[in-house]
Structure 1
Amino acid sequence: MNALRHEFDLSNATILPPRDRRAPNSRDQANLAAQWNAVHEAAAAIGVLAQLGRPEENEAVTGLPARAAANGGYEYEMVLRGVDDLAAVMQPGLRALLSLSASGQDTTSAALTLWREFHASRDAIIALAPEN
């Protein structure tokens, strides 16, 4: 049996790109803030369907777009992608819940599951740009 031989030189490899502190432009910041707010509006609707109410929003939550923009570079990009991924999960989930609710079905259990996923994802995104 022949084993494969690899001669990779990883001495110059980096896992993350170098830290770039340039701030994103104001249009990018506004887009992130708008998407972050939209995700929370969707979460509020899910909270109603789960019979829980609106999610709690403290400074760690509301200040995320500004903190991410202040960090800039790959940290900002990671927050941006995280919010985009969260929106991609929330949109079809909320659509399905609204469809079930419109047909008279109980959405409490499914909404509670999506609510928990939202909070876990939101906490992970907030951890990318922690408060100082």
Structure 2
Amino acid sequence: MEHPPFQSFRAGQSLDSAPRDPLREQARQTVQGGPPPLLPGGASDVLGADRLAARARLAGMSPLDTVWMALHEAARSVAVLAGRPPEPLRPDVRNFPAIMRATGGWRADQARDGIEDLAAVLQPGLRALIAAQGRATPEALRQAAQALWQEFDAARAALLDLIPPLNLRPQR
């Protein structure tokens, strides 16, 4: 199964191959007359992760950080469709990928897998909400967005539970 572009941060981690540059690949395909990269099923990348991953590489950022932020931008759109006010990003949420890199081990592996899973749920869900606009009643669209928001929120909470507890008590 072909991986969607937002999961390409794992492909770039291979030790025996150089990281792919999405901008360079897209430019090469455009010059050769081919279409830009698409997700399986022909739907465009609604999270914009291709563009964000390319910017992250240029800025020296981790693609995982970029995907995490793209997920939260998409979730902000879902929240608006659900009639919820946008929530500010708490420091633990904003810095989650960096915390997991610093933690390492099984927690970091679970975090990478969880972010992929969250993207795999949010991407088609948001795509469906966008397609339903104008076709569904506002109430049906709001209810669908609320259901997607609840899925996102529960999955994100499970990921944030991977952050190890801080031992702030002084050692005696």
User: TM-score normalised by the shorter chain: which range applies?
Assistant: 0.7 to 0.9
Q: Distance in 1 between matches of 2:143 and 2:164?
A: 31
The RMSD of aligned alpha carbons is 1.7
Give the TM-score normalised by structure 1.
0.73
Deviation at 1:120, TM superposition (A): 0.6
> Which secondary structure state, in structure 2, belongs to the residue aligned with residue 128 of structure 1?
coil
Larger Rg: 1
Give the TM-score normalised by structure 2.
0.57
Say which structure, 1 or 2, has more relative contact order (CA 8 Å, 6+ apart): 1
**Unaligned stretches of 5+ residues in structure 2:** 1-56, 167-172
Q: What letter matches 2:67 in structure 1?
A: Q
2:113 pairs with 1:71: no
- Give the one of 118, 142, 148 matched to 1:108: 142
2:118 pairs with 1:118: no
2:46 pairs with 1:46: no
CA deviation profile, 1:28-59 (whole Å, cap 9, x unmatched): x7111011101101100101110113234211
Q: Distance in 2 between matches of 1:95 and 1:105?
A: 17
- Give the one of 145, 163, 166 matched to 1:129: 163
Deviation at 1:73, TM superposition (A): 2.0
Question: What is residue 117 of structure 2 aligned with on the other side?
Answer: 85
Q: Distance in 1 between matches of 2:65 and 2:165?
A: 17
2:109 pairs with 1:96: no
The structure 1 segments of at least 4 consecutive aligned residues displaced by more than 4 Å after TM superposition are none
CA deviation profile, 1:80-132 (whole Å, cap 9, x unmatched): 10011000000000011111114353210010011111111101001112452
